[in-house]
Structure formats: structure tokens, C-alpha cells
Structure 1
């Protein structure tokens, strides 16, 4: 074989090797980025005690750059094994109320036995409270207690709309049946008065409701679910109750999560999710459900930007438009106006009453 032929063989081999290397590099580049083997997503229980298990230096998290990530309970993610959500009692501000006069003090056991089988009227929650004969406070009926008066209520409005005439009539029928069992006398309000109150409250709620969502989209290589959850857990997110969901807990146990991170449920349920290419996830803030003191929008903005930076992503709105600093500032200013309006109405964001209205 001549020197010329040997040279051609060498060039051909080099070309083949270069093509193979390029294809391998391209394939690896487009594979989903995977999490480190040692990484683990904290549970809500572990998040309550975030102290490191050793004295090794810990990498900075979002909480160390001005955004706290305090462990706590979530109401939007039941099943985390955390305390139940705080609830607001019956109030004229949010409920149509029916006082029930009693001929004599009744036991909590009797009241519980007389309650209707369903605690809803149409799409609205139905509740009964008793005036504790010993403590003198209105409360949900409890076994072993005695009550000198009762009141029933139905919520005037929620995110399904206002209480209507049909629902109010159903409410009156349900209250009357409950009262007859206990030999109580109900004093029902006038229907149209309560329906009109419901419409006004629903109009206010509709004008001051906000559920803000940011999308983070991959610029280059896709991610595996484990890669995403690994980076999110470093910012204080914990596993949610549903597949494909993580939450940033609030400071107070029982409060709604500050933020919810979600991606495709089918991806999370795949036989081998680490082989699935994930190109987008979402951060959501349910504004009326999160206290202003939690600085929820600031934390949402910084979390989105931190994840986009470390994962090579782009922060966009729900329509896919990139969000810059100016747009973020404008959104923040509009949310401050909304917080002020809720506060002025006596419905501060994150309070039990507000969360009940915007449910």
C-alpha cells in the first residue's frame, strides 16, 4: 500500500471518528439534564428541620439571598402530613345567617346527630355553629359540650359565583329540617336581600381575584424531573401531595403555600421519569391566599429568575412572552394595589376569611 493510500485511510478514519464524536456530543447535549445521584427532595417533615445533618459547608439557597423559605404547612397540598388549615367561623360579612332559638340547652352530640348528611348547598359550604353554654363562644359543635343557641349559615359567594335563589331556597329547606329535629325555631332572612348581598360580594371578589403564573422554558437542553426537583428543593420547595407538584411552604403551619411549582403529571408518573425530556414548568401564586407579609411576589420573581439562571431557562408569562425587569415591576405595583383593596374591605390576603371567599 502506498503512502498516498495510507494517508487517505487515515483521513477517512479521522473523518469517521469526528462524525461519531459530533453525533455523540449532539445526542448527549439534547438528553434531559439529570439530577445528581445523591440529591434528594425534602419532604414537608424534613423541611420543618432544615438543619444540615453534618458540619459540612452548605451551598447558599434562595433564603440566603434575600428570600426566606420557611418550612410550614400547606392547605393547597393536603396529604403532606401537616396540621389542618385554619378556618374562619360564620360571619355576616361572608355568610347568610339563620339564628335558631332553642327551647332548652342541647348537647353537642344531639346537634351532630341532627346535622344534614351533606355540608354543601349547591356549590356553597353550609355550616352550623353553637353558642357554648360554658365558655360563651360560638364554635363548631363538639361532643360532650352543651349549647344554648345555634346558628346556621351558607357562604354568599366563592370562586364558583354568588349564592342564587335556588341555592338559598335549598338552604332554607335544609335549615328547617335541621331545626325540626332539635325543636328549634329558625329566623330566616329575606331571600332577595341575601341574594343581592351575594352578588355584590361576588362582584368585588371577581375584580380583586388574581392567580399569577410564570413559565420557565428550557433555552437549550431539556431537563429530567429529578433535575428540576433537585434545583427547586435547594430554594426551599418541598414535595407536594400530587405528582408533578412542589410547594414553597408558608411561615405559619396551616396556611396556603407561598408558591406552587408544577409540571406535567404524566411526566411524573412515567415508568422512568429520568428519561423524559421536560422543557417547561410553571410557578403559580394564588394572590388572595398568601399573606402580604410573606412577600410572595418578590419570592416568586426571585425563584423564577434563580431557577432560570441555574437551569438555562427563560422566564415567560402564560402566553410565552419573555418577562423583563420592567414587566416584573409593573406586575408588582399592580399587586400592591390589589392588596390595599383587599385590606380596605376587611379581607386581607392570606386571612382565613379571605381564603374562604376565594375558594
Structure 2
């Protein structure tokens, strides 16, 4: 193969990758700006009736509407379960439908082979915690986890940015767990599906009211445009890194985005050819529920907006291209602080693993 042919193949591959990356970026932008909020908006109410969280045994008991006496071994297992550590930090009854399986002898991850195979069928995140038989601590489980476990907590997330988990999917999940329990002769605690579906709708409605992104635009004066090279230099100076989505990100120590800097015209920045770009403006974006202490992070973003505007000889403006002074920025900050307070009162801590799952 000649050097010319190789060069053409490489160029073609790069073009395909660029188009694919741009398509993904456009989908993400559309979802975040036009489809990001949950489908229903309603009162900020969470149903927390203790009766709704009562477990349902699979071998009779509440599932059949009457109680059966427990075998001695099962009664001992239930007594032992009361001494378990109660927390599995990844899961929360407010945001997840949580089923519990307990075993007479330790089980491994392959016990849940059917769940691993079908986990994408439920259209919501599935998370599993195992009670490590050796350490006695709950830990996140994967299909490849090598440890042995005394019990599993299997959770289906009740809502995300695409909406609430449907009662039908919750029922499917419960039936799958029930089947695993029967196959493994395990004891199962299966919460009521109807009440979980109601909680899912309430959670969906609450999240719709706090699912907000705030932006600060940085526009050049007159007919001037920013060059890609000066944007890259200014971004690097302030610690922003260009990622595969075509947007510059400021990340925290764990690699999570604090806020981002994108093209005002929604055209992604690409490493190749960045120095050739002419850009009409920039937008700093803060995904409010997904960052820790969002009001403080907004303060940081406002400072960065002013610094970028100064270094690029530009102005900070709102979506109507009106200059944003201190009163305007303070008003936006107040809205961010209100969202933060509402989330903490729910309680969903902004930027927590729980929040990042809900607002993904």
C-alpha cells in the first residue's frame, strides 16, 4: 500500500471519528438543554410511609396475604440479619427500589448471572451491593467480583433524566429477583412495587424542579471573533482541559466536572484544527445538581468568566446578549442557592454519587 493510500485511509478514519464525536456531542447537548428535565413537574413531596418499605417474603408471608411460620434455620437467618451493618452507601431507599437476598451459606457474584445478563432491560441504573462474608462490610459488586457474600442488596434506580421507572419495569425487576431467590433457596425481601412506582413519580417531579443548568456567555465586541488558539491558551491558563465531547472542563480531584467551557454556537472544539477555528463566543456552564456546593461553584465560575473576558477583551453577557453586572450575577446566584437548599432539604446532596446517578 502506497504512502498516499495510507494517508487517505488515516484521513478518512479521522473524518469518521470527528463526525461520530460531533453526533454524540449534539445528542448530549440536545438532551441536556431540551430533554434534560424530568417529564413531570409537581409538588416537592416524597412519600415516606413506613408501611411502604415493609419487606415481602417470597415463600408465602405478605406476598400471599397471610403469614406462615418460619423454619428454625430461616428464623435464625432473620435474627442474624438484624445484626448486619445497615448501610450500603451507594444505595438509598429514597432513590432506589432495593431488594435484599440473604443466604444460608456464602454466595458469589455468579449467583446473580441472570441479573447481570438482563440489567440493561430495565431502562434504569441497576446497582448491587454485597455483604462481604470475610470483612462483614457492604461493598459495590460487579459481575467479576471475586469475593463471597452473605447477602446482596439489588437496587433499581427510581428515576433519572429520562423520567421515572415504570411500574411494569419495577415489577419485572422484582420478579427477576424473586426467581433468583427461588433458584438459590435464598430468603428475599421484596418491597411493594406499587408504592415504589408512586415514589418514583414523586422523585421524578421533585428532580424536574431542581434540574437546572446556568450559563455565563463571553462574547467579543463588534465583529471580532476569538481564535481557537487564544481560547486554548486562556483555558489552559485556568486549568480547563479539552475532552472528547469537544468542550473544555474544569475538573475536581476525583475527575468530576465542576463546570465547562463550550462554543457559544454549539460547535465542538477539536484538537486537530483548533488553531484554525474562529469562534463567535464562549459559554461557561454549571450543572447545578451535579456539583458539590453549587452556589460556591457558581461564584468560582463567575470569577473565571470575568478573568476570561478580561484576557480575551470580551464581555460577560446573558442569553439576550445583555451585559451582566454584579446585580445580574447575584440574582443568578440566588437561584442556584435556592436549588441547593431544596435539594439538601429533600435530602439529596448536590454532587453526591446519588445526585450524579439521578441527573445522568
Q: Under TM normalisation by the shorter chain, which class is it?
A: 0.5 to 0.7
Shift in CA distance, 223/181, structure 1 to aligned 2, threshold 3 Å: farther
Which residue of 1 is the match for residue 277 of structure 2? 276
Superposition map of 1:134-283 within 5 A: 134-141=134-141, 143-220=145-222, 221-243=224-246, 245-250=247-252, 252-254=253-255, 256-263=256-263, 268-269=269-270, 272-283=273-284
Provide the TM-score with structure 2 as the length reference: 0.68
- How far apart are 1:294 and its partner, in Å? 8.3
Superposition map of 1:311-326 within 5 A: 311-326=312-327
Unmatched runs of 5 consecutive residues or more in structure 2:
1-87
> Residues of 1 paired with 2:242 and 2:103: CA distance?
48
| Deviation string, structure 1 residues 288-323 (Cα, Å, up to 9, x no partner) | 111118821111111112112221222222343432
Question: Is 1:291 aligned with 2:292?
Answer: yes
Higher relative contact order (CA 8 A, sep 6+): 1
Which residue of 2 is the match for residue 128 of structure 1? 128
Shift in CA distance, 121/232, structure 1 to aligned 2, threshold 3 Å: same
Residues 291 and 351, structure 2, Cα contact 8 Å, conserved in 1: yes
> Residues of 2 paired with 1:235 and 1:271: CA distance?
21
**Considering only aligned residues, what root-mean-square deviation do their CA atoms show, in Å?**
2.6
| Deviation string, structure 1 residues 197-250 (Cα, Å, up to 9, x no partner) | 11111222112222112221221421221111111211221222333x111122
> Residues of 2 paired with 1:186 and 1:209: CA distance?
35
- How far apart are 1:193 and its partner, in Å? 0.5
> Residues of 1 paired with 2:152 and 2:271: CA distance?
52
> Residues of 2 paired with 1:169 and 1:318: CA distance?
44
> Residues of 1 paired with 2:193 and 2:336: CA distance?
35
- How far apart are 1:328 and its partner, in Å? 0.6
> Residues of 2 paired with 1:143 and 1:184: CA distance?
20
> Residues of 2 paired with 1:152 and 1:277: CA distance?
50
Q: For the pair shown, which has the larger CA radius of gyration, 1 or 2? A: 1
Residues 154 and 171, structure 1, Cα contact 8 Å, conserved in 2: yes
> Residues of 2 paired with 1:344 and 1:296: CA distance?
19
SS class of match (2:117): coil
Provide the TM-score with structure 1 as the length reference: 0.68
SS class of match (1:328): helix
> Residues of 1 paired with 2:94 and 2:272: CA distance?
50
- How far apart are 1:330 and its partner, in Å? 0.8
> Residues of 1 paired with 2:183 and 2:322: CA distance?
59
Shift in CA distance, 112/99, structure 1 to aligned 2, threshold 3 Å: closer
| Deviation string, structure 1 residues 169-194 (Cα, Å, up to 9, x no partner) | 22223323443553434332222100
Unmatched runs of 5 consecutive residues or more in structure 1:
1-86
Whichever structure has more helix as a proportion of its residues is 2
